[in-house]
């Protein structure tokens, strides 16, 4: 037999006689109209678009940075060819469903000897927890099916791998299309490209349709591996496309035999779980592989029909590497049809004859259980430098079962490069192309009508906000504010020490600032004395900007939290947060000891903080997500004001004026003060402005009033203790100012406030802890019993 | 023989457990030669949710879910069981072991030829067993000899091994408890291509002459079932005691290894450190089985 690897690859665009294939002509015509270098420029723009979307991670150099890129030239499939693939993919999905239904049910195929028992019993993908003797499994087991295909020199598409666990890629395919349409709009003109939107609409309906029968208005959730997983970005995209909640295992709990989402409003039932985890990791009660992760009781809830998990947890069984060797034989037995879409040549190595063939013939790729002999993949033109270069291509295509039929996505991912080599790898890396499916001349490209759902009831209440997300938003608010405060302190300090010597009348202010900096976590600031301050503080500030210092550290935590709440931010918000934060962080790290450079970096920090505040104010609905972001920011700011005003006023009464000046500066209230009182600086008006004035967004009172308001909204009617405490703190702020106003000597009264301010700061910290305990449910760790603890139970009776 | 079974498992936690899920394989299997006249499980505190289902191997699995805080968890399994497994065929009448291995792959026993997490293929164990299986030997003759050798060569020593002890370690140390001996024998037989499964259950302790059985002295037990081919099916072999299973054992569940049939496993939220107490009584009942 000749070595199939020796034949030259088929060219997808150019036929054997050097002519361009008809379905590529429109695209090529468009390319001809583009100027020199335009394509390379588009490739760069596409890279940048992905980066801005957050696919490339928030910070440079962090692990979340995915090396996923899209080539500006799509891969084109003519209508007829897609129709053939569509029929083949749908049939293969039906076949695998029938196979799974047998192997998780009566196992007739094993009794009849149609597949070797090794493929089932020695396969870690066979989850015994998902089979019950004598009970047929709930169907469908397969809902989302993906297939990797390549085309050999003979022009035939063959299946390289079937993906049935939780196939990656459908969200990325959609994202490629969206960004390509933005960057290469002219490519879509005149080309009858089928839209992917109807497919996602159908998919969304299908999830509703597949809900177990008991509930009206079924709730669908997408279970992600978590924000630290490289697939998280796609999971987030999918949850948006499919309009379902994005949840992690820790957000879920099984109570009374049913699956629930833990939200701020209590437990909410989940009827359909689109799982992106391998089945063995779903339930620690049933599968040792789950360790202490997963949701205890989830498989039992599914077993008794309280929730539908898609794909079924055991569906990964159909990915057995040797299975393709038997599919052509199984098709007539299981679905009464001949297999339309062949696999690449596959041999099961448990068969001695197969082992012999593999040893004697060239070209076999040998794995543990199976050997395959894929043909040379066809090639497509890709942008390389200023020109084009033919590179091998493998397709990943997707199909979804809607309850009665399989629907194939008219599109997908065309993976480029050593495609044939990396078939098993996730498509989260490397280069891909948008896959265009051309509509037939005059065909309806809208697709079948979507399921008509009853009109939704109008809802204004905050939707289901998982406690974990509220927690992340709260800390995003706190850290953003903390970073901003640090920048303001640095600027105020620099203004006083930039001349190298501190003016005598500013000595007290610099000492107070050093205490503020120490409080804000600047290492070394607590030891700074009065006269040496001008010498010591520049070094302390510069050190705080360096890698590992408190400011870049805060930026990193903010970046991580931004990534974790990515699904709660619009694309514009995310891009704004990310770009401004990245700029500020880079400037900090590059500032070195230069006062000027540090000052510029601080301006960038303030710009970032302003962008967050502006976006939150203008683009976020005043619901749960906004409430917690704002709550975090207000609590952090209230605490900082109380502490810093305390430090500034901790002076002999005769020198209180310097402290007041500092207070107004740190609270960004100098201009307001000047407008109200011109240039006379007195304790009562200054303290009224920064402590008691509810209309000043930099005043303590403003924060406390907002905290009280937010907490009453979150707590609804349940418990009023938290908003009451905020209101009581507000009264204390007013009382302090009233005391100064009424005092015979305002300076003495002001200088006596620091202990009261310190107490207020302490109460705010306690309030923050109470919020954390009340809403973020810090659950103790999950532990398993029985496998490690049963030693005494296993004594023999001999 | 009729037995009254009482198996008490108690967990005591250092801190309150807020949420717990437990999977119990504590109901004796109903088998042609094991009649289960009564069986009950009493769980304290009372579960908020409880389900029954047969598992992949056909064992009766009970799942209990608790969502009230508790510092103590107790399961009392009680049953009235009549056992009388048929005598094994004469060893010489069983097929050659190679023929049994050859027939296994196409049979329902095939699953038990493959290695499993706690009974993997261990060359030392396979080699150890091979001495009892010279070419052409009737399978049961080899099995009986292997069982006797394990009883002789391995010291029964509680406390030196745990539930996750690997077969290779037991082969090395030549000591352990019933679970280890069962895993060694299962692993060794699979190495030869013979189907073998792990059985969890109870064995009665012979009362001392004229005395009565000591309460709480008995524990969960484990042994092996090996396949003798289509005609004779499965036979129970207890390497800890070097006896064939006839009327002194009660079968709870079987699987590939202990991991499939742990009598009680769970996932708890909170709890901290915990203590575990287990007590088993397997008492012979005289006279007819009460209805």
- The distance of B156 to chain A (nearest Cα, Å) reads 8
d(CA A375, CA A345): 9
| Chain A residue nearest residue B282, CA to CA | A797
Q: Which of A292, A789, A797 shows the shortest C-beta gap to B205?
A: A797
User: Which residues in chain B touch residue A122, judged by CB atoms under 8 angstroms apart?
Assistant: 114-115
Looking at the complex, does the CB of residue B259 fall below 8 Å from at least one CB of chain A? yes
- What pLDDT is recorded for position A425? 43
What tens digit of pLDDT does each residue of A184-235 get? Answer: 888 888 788 999 999 999 999 999 889 987 656 789 999 999 877 778 888 9
Sheet arrangement for strand B249-255: B243-244, B234-238, B221-227, B196-203, B249-255
A685 pLDDT more than 80: yes
**Residue A690 DSSP symbol:** I
Q: What distance in Å separates residue A224's CA from the closest CA in chain B?
A: 21
CA distance readout (Å), B157 to A34, A540, A633? 82, 64, 62
- Report percent pLDDT > 90 for chain A: 57
Q: Calculate how close chain A gets to B264, using CA atoms only, in Å.
A: 6
Two tokens at A58?
């928030």
d(CA A306, CA A300): 9
In angstroms, the CA B260 to CA A128 distance is: 9
Average pLDDT of the segment spanning B40-69: 96
What are B209's two structure tokens? 């002459």
Looking only at Cα atoms, what is the longest distance across chain B?
A: 61
Element (H, E) at A359: helix A352-360
Spatial distance between the Cα atoms of A387 and A745, rounded to a whole number of angstroms:
81
B104-127 average pLDDT score: 94
d(CA A616, CA A30): 42
Rounded Cα distance, A764 and A183, in Å? 49
pLDDT tens-digit series, residues A415-436:
987 644 444 444 445 788 999 9
Residues 82-101 of B with CB under 8 A from A: none
Task: Look at chain B and count its residues.
Answer: 291
A694 contact B CB<8A: no
Is the CB of A256 inside 8 Å of chain B's CB atoms? Answer: yes
Average pLDDT value over all residues in chain B: 91
- Predicted local confidence at residue A280, as pLDDT: 95
Percent of chain A scoring above 70 in pLDDT: 89
Quick check: B161 pLDDT over 90?
no
The C-alpha atoms of residue A558 and residue A477 are separated, in whole angstroms, by: 9
Is A14 in contact with A20 (CB distance < 8 Å)? Answer: yes
Kindly provide the ipTM of the predicted complex, given to two decimals.
0.94
Residue A668 in this model has a pLDDT that exceeds 80:
yes
Q: From B9, which residue of chain A is nearest by alpha-carbon distance?
A: A793
Yes or no, beta carbons of B265 and A796 under 8 Å apart = no
Q: Looking at A12-130, which runs of residues are DSSP E strands? A: 68-77
Q: Of the candidates B164, B240, B263, which has its C-beta nearest A788's C-beta? A: B164
The alpha carbon of residue A28 and the mean position of all alpha carbons in its chain are separated, in whole angstroms, by 37
Report whether B235 contacts B195 (CB < 8 A).
no
| Per-residue confidence (pLDDT) for residue A250, from 0 to 100 | 87
Q: Which of residues 88-127 of A touch B (CB under 8 A)?
A: 110-111, 113, 116-118, 120-122
Q: What is the pLDDT of residue A423?
A: 45
| Partner residue opposite B267 with nearest CB, options A303, A779, A784 | A784
Contacts of A117 in chain B (CB under 8 A): 105, 110-111, 113-114
pLDDT exceeds 50 at position A798: no
B157 vs A: CB within 8 A: no
Query: Do A299 and A129 touch, CB atoms closer than 8 A?
Result: yes
pLDDT above 70 covers a percentage of chain B that reads 93
Of A131, A300, A789, the CB nearest to B274: A789
Name the residue with higher pLDDT: A525 or B95.
B95
CA distance A223 to A301: 15
| DSSP for residue A377 | P
Token pair in block for residue A448: 């079948």
Sequence-ordered list of residues with C-beta below 8 angstroms from that of A559, at least 6 positions apart, any chain: A58, A59, A62, A578, A581, A585
Reply yes or no on whether the pLDDT at B135 is more than 80: yes
Q: Which residues, listed in sequence order, are joined to residue A151 by a DSSP beta bridge?
A: A157
Structure token pair of residue B216: 């709480």
Query: Is the Cβ pair A780, B269 closer than 8 Å?
Result: yes
Which residues of B are less than 8 Å from A110 in CB distance?
A: 110
* Least confident range of A468-482, A571-585, A772-786: A772-786
Residue B61: which H helix or E strand, with range?
Answer: strand B60-66
Residue A655 pLDDT grade (very low, low, confident, very high; cuts 50, 70, 90): confident
Exposed e or buried b for every residue in A402-425, given b needs 16+ CB within 10 A?
beeebbbbbbbbbbbbebbeebee
Residue A781 has pLDDT above 80, yes or no: no
Mark A174-191 as b/e (b = at least 16 C-beta within 10 Å): bbbbbbbeebbeebbeeb
- Region A358-373: what's the mean pLDDT? 93
Could you tell me which of A714, A727, A729 has the C-alpha nearest to residue A764? A729
Q: pLDDT per residue over B35-49, tens digit each? A: 999 999 999 999 999
Phi, psi (deg, nearest 5) at residue A185: -60, -35
Residue A36 has pLDDT above 80, yes or no: no
Residue linked to tokens 């004001």: A641
Angle between helix A467-497 and A595-619 (nearest 10): 140
Please provide the average confidence, as pLDDT, over all residues in chain A: 86
- Cβ–Cβ of B268/A797 closer than 8 Å? no
Pick A285's closest partner by Cβ from B15, B204, B267. Answer: B267
The closest alpha carbon to A797, from B111, B186, B119, B206, belongs to: B206
Output B288 or A30, whichever has higher pLDDT. A30
For B265, which of A135, A787, A794 is closest by C-beta distance? A787
Cα angle for residues A76, A153, A3 (degrees, 5° grid):
150
Q: Is the pLDDT score of A451 beyond 70?
A: no
Q: Residue A418's pLDDT is what?
A: 60
Q: Is A783 on the interface with B (CB under 8 A)?
A: yes
In Å, how far is A244's CA from the nearest CA of chain B?
27
Task: Compute the distance between CA of residue B205 and CA of residue A796 in angstroms, rounded to an integer.
Answer: 10
Q: Is the pLDDT of residue A772 over 70?
A: yes
Q: Which of A28-32, A525-529, B212-216 has the lowest mean pLDDT?
A: B212-216
Q: Is the minimum CB–CB distance between B270 and chain A shorter than 8 Å?
A: yes
Tokens standing for residue A763: 């109460």
Query: Which of B49, B177, B241 is nearest residue A795 as measured by Cβ atoms?
Result: B177
In 10 A of CB A456, how many CB atoms?
7
Q: Is B53 a residue whose pLDDT tops 50?
A: yes
Q: How many CB atoms lie within 10 A of CB B62?
A: 20
Cα dihedral B44, B48, B54, B55 in deg (nearest 10): -90
Q: What is the dihedral of CA B230, B236, B237, B243, to 10 degrees?
A: -120
Q: Which residues of B touch A121 (CB under 8 A)?
A: 110-111, 113-114
Report the SS3 class of residue B228: coil
Report CA A321 to chain centroid distance, whole Å. Answer: 31
Sole residue written with tokens 């002519």: A19
Kind plus residue range of the DSSP H or E element containing A302:
helix A298-303
């Amino acid at each position: 037999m000749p070595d199939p690897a020796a034949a030259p690859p088929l060219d997808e665009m150019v036929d054997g006689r050097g002519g361009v294939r008809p379905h590529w002509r429109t695209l090529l015509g468009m390319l001809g109209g583009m100027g020199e270098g335009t394509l390379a420029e588009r490739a760069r723009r596409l890279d940048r678009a992905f980066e801005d979307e957050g696919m490339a991670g928030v910070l440079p150099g962090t692990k979340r940075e995915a090396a996923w890129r899209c080539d500006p030239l799509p891969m084109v499939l003519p209508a007829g060819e897609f129709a053939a693939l569509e029929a083949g993919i749908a049939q293969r999905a039906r076949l695998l469903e029938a196979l799974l239904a047998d192997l998780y049910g009566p196992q007739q195929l094993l009794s009849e000897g149609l597949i070797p028992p090794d493929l089932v019993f020695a396969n870690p993908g066979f989850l015994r927890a998902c089979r019950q003797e004598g009970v047929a499994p709930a169907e469908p087991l397969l809902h989302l099916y993906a297939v990797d295909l390549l085309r050999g020199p003979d022009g035939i598409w063959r299946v390289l791998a079937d993906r049935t666990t939780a196939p990656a890629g459908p969200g990325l395919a959609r994202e490629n299309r969206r960004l390509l349409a933005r960057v290469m709009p002219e490519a879509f003109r005149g080309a009858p490209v089928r839209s992917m939107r109807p497919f996602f609409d159908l998919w969304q309906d299908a999830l509703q349709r597949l809900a177990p029968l008991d509930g009206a208005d079924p709730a669908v959730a997408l279970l992600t591996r978590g924000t630290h997983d490289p697939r998280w970005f796609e999971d987030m995209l999918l949850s948006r496309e499919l309009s379902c909640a994005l949840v992690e295992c820790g957000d879920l709990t099984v109570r009374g035999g049913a699956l629930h989402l833990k939200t701020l409003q209590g437990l909410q039932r989940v009827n359909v779980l689109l799982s992106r985890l391998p089945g063995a990791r779903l339930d620690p009660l049933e599968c040792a592989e789950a360790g202490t992760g997963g949701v205890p009781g989830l498989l039992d809830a599914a077993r008794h029909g309280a929730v539908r998990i898609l794909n079924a947890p055991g569906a990964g069984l159909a990915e057995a590497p040797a299975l393709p060797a038997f599919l052509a034989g199984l098709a007539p037995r299981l679905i009464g049809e001949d297999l339309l879409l062949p696999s690449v040549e596959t041999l099961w190595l448990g068969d001695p004859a197969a082992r012999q063939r593999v040893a004697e013939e060239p070209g076999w790729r040998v794995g543990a259980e199976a050997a395959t002999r894929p043909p040379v993949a066809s090639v497509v033109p890709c942008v390389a430098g200023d020109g084009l270069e033919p590179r091998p291509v493998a397709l990943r295509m997707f199909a979804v079962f809607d309850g009665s039929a399989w629907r194939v996505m008219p599109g997908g991912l065309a993976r480029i490069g050593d495609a044939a080599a990396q078939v098993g790898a996730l498509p989260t890396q490397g280069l891909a192309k948008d896959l265009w499916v051309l509509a037939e001349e005059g065909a309806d490209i809208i697709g079948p009508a979507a399921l008509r759902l009853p009109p939704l009831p109008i809802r204004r209440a905050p939707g289901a906000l998982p406690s974990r997300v509220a927690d992340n938003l709260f800390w995003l608010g706190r850290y953003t504010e903390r970073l901003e405060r640090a920048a303001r302190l640095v600027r105020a300090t620099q203004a006083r020490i930039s001349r190298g010597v501190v003016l005598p009348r500013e000595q007290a202010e610099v000492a107070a600032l050093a205490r503020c900096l120490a409080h804000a976590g600047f290492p070394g600031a607590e030891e700074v004395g009065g006269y040496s301050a001008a010498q010591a503080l520049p070094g302390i500030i510069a050190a705080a900007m360096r890698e590992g210092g408190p400011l870049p550290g805060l930026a990193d935590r903010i970046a991580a939290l931004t990534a974790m709440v990515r699904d709660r931010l619009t694309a514009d918000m995310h891009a704004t947060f990310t770009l401004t934060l990245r700029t500020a962080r880079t400037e900090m790290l590059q500032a070195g000891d230069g006062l000027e450079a540090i000052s510029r970096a601080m301006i960038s920090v303030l710009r970032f903080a302003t962008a967050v505040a502006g976006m939150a104010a203008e683009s976020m609905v005043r619901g749960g997500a906004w409430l917690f972001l704002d709550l975090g920011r207000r609590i952090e700011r209230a605490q900082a004001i109380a502490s810093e005003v305390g430090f500034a006023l901790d002076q002999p009464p005769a020198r209180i004026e310097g402290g007041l000046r500092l207070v107004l500066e740190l609270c960004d209230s100098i201009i307001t003060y000047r407008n109200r009182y011109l240039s006379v600086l007195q304790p009562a008006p200054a303290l009224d402005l920064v402590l008691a004035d509810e209309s000043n967004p930099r005043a303590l009172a403003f924060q406390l009033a907002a905290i009280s308001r937010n907490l009453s909204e979150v707590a609804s009617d349940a418990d009023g203790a938290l908003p009451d405490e905020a209101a009581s703190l507000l009264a204390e702020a007013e009382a302090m100012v009233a005391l100064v106003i009424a005092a015979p000597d305002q300076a003495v009264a002001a200088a006596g406030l620091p202990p009261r301010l310190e107490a207020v700061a302490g109460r705010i910290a306690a309030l923050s802890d109470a919020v954390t305990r009340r809403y973020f449910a810090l659950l103790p760790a999950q532990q398993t019993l029985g496998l490690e603890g049963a030693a005494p139970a296993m004594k023999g009776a001999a | 023989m009729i037995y009254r079974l009482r198996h008490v498992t108690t967990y005591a936690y250092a801190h309150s457990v807020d949420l717990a899920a437990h999977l119990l394989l504590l109901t004796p299997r109903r088998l042609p030669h094991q009649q289960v006249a009564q069986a009950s499980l009493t769980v304290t505190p009372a579960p908020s949710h409880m389900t029954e289902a047969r598992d992949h191997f056909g064992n009766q699995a009970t799942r209990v879910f608790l969502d009230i805080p508790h510092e103590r968890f107790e399961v009392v399994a009680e049953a009235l069981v009549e056992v009388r497994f048929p005598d094994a065929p004469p060893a010489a009448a069983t097929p050659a072991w190679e023929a049994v291995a050859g027939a296994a792959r196409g049979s329902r026993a095939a699953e038990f030829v493959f290695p499993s997490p706690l009974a993997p293929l261990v060359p030392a164990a396979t080699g150890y067993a091979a001495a009892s299986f010279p070419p052409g030997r009737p399978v049961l003759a080899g099995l009986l000899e292997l069982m006797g050798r394990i009883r002789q060569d391995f010291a029964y020593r509680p406390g030196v091994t745990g539930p996750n002890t690997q077969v290779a370690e037991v082969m090395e140390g030549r000591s352990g408890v019933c679970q280890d001996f069962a895993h060694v024998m299962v692993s060794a037989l699979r190495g030869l291509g013979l189907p073998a499964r792990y059985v969890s259950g109870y064995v009665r302790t012979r009362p001392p002459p004229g005395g009565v059985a000591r309460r709480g002295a008995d524990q969960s037990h484990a042994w092996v079932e090996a396949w003798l081919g289509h005609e004779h099916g499965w036979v129970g072999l207890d390497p800890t005691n070097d006896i064939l299973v006839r009327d002194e054992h009660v079968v709870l569940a079987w699987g590939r290894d202990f991991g499939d049939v742990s009598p009680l496993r769970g996932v708890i939220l909170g709890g901290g450190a915990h203590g575990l107490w287990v007590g088993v009584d397997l008492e012979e009942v005289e006279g007819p089985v009460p209805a």
